[in-house]
Homo-oligomer: A and B are copies of this chain.
């Protein structure tokens, strides 16, 4: 049985990609149809599609969609002058997509796979519709692979979740963030499915409220009990003994186990440590970056001050999208290949690709 796939993205007509616009949730379920790399970059930059694994999948699908459109245009009665996917096109498109957001490494990994697949296909003579088809097949394989990895993470994570566990999570790491059932939320979905009576405390996750808007929406849809708190209330919930375990996702994990994830994660890890609560990170292989020896090598995206509420004109703000949690604060990392325990260096180096 194939692993469940997210319904936050889909193939559209004529090789296009349909993307659920997450900036409109939960007020509105609005779909975008994307037929170009530029439109996908816009959707990624403006967080219409977000979540480290889903960004990689969406970028790969966006590349395939543009290839399909170029092929269609070249076949049309009045062919476009710049069409037919070429090696130059592939290289430029991949470069632009990979730079859409800097922190999540899944994006770079997905685009590298797409570029490799395209170049290999061209080398063996594929062109036009064959090349476009090859890119679509590769994008689908990346998506399928991520869904399978989510399922495996969920399975491995069950060992860490006791019956009735009250699970605190940050940001959104579910169906809206991945190609499958999610990473941290994947563990929650499977525990719920198996009748383990878990409940979730979702941090609001400022500045963009992905916890209050997206995680609460997903879990409510699935019938999983969920309470939202402001980010600042996490420590107080821990002091009140209302949190049994913290599980978060990751945007990039360095070779030593340092974890870049949504801003606020590092603070949660410190607070969990201070209260003796286990702090787990759930992520697929594609989130690990052996080229980053430690968290210091991970670029941290800074976003505009305007995302921070206030309405004060000329408000000066510092708005990093991510922070880095030292591996030493992470109790375990749940991957699709098993649960890693510190010290992380050797087990991360041994992860299959």
Contacts and interface: CB of A to CB of B under 8 A. Distances in A.
Contacts of A220: 312, 314-315
A225 B317 CA distance: 11
Nearest to A228: B317
B212 A323 contact: no
B318 A227 contact: yes
A186 to B, nearest CB: 21
A237 interface: yes
Contact of A308 (B212, B271, B305, B324): B212
Interface stretch (A34-42, A261-269, A334-342): A261-269
A353 to B, nearest CB: 30
B270 A312 contact: no
Copies in the complex: 2
A283 to B, nearest CB: 19
Contact of A263 (B232, B263, B266, B270): B232
A311 B227 contact: no
A263 B237 CA distance: 11
A315 B270 contact: no
Given A264-B230, A323-B239, A309 B212 contact: yes
Interface residues of A, number: 53
A68 interface: no
A217 interface: yes
A230 B314 CA distance: 17
A234 B268 CA distance: 11
A142 B93 CA distance: 68
B310 A233 contact: no
A235 interface: yes
A46 B227 CA distance: 23
Contact of A231 (B206, B216, B305, B315): B206
Given A206-B206, A217-B312, A312-B26, A317 B229 contact: yes
A204 B309 contact: yes
A212 B310 contact: yes
A266 B235 contact: yes
Give the one of A232, A237, A315 with max B CB within 10 A. A232
A128 interface: no
Given A271-B271, A310-B213, A320 B231 contact: no
A209 B230 CA distance: 11
A235 B201 CA distance: 20
Contacts of A226: 316
A239 B271 CA distance: 14
B235 A323 contact: yes
Interface string A294-324: 0000000000010011111011111110011
Interface string A191-213: 00000000001011111010011
Interface string A218-257: 0010000111111111111101000000000000000000
A27 interface: yes
23 contacts: A26-B311, A26-B312, A212-B312, A216-B312, A216-B316, A217-B312, A220-B312, A227-B316, A228-B308, A228-B310, A228-B318, A229-B308, A230-B263, A232-B262, A232-B263, A233-B319, A233-B320, A235-B266, A236-B263, A236-B266, A236-B324, A270-B270, A270-B271
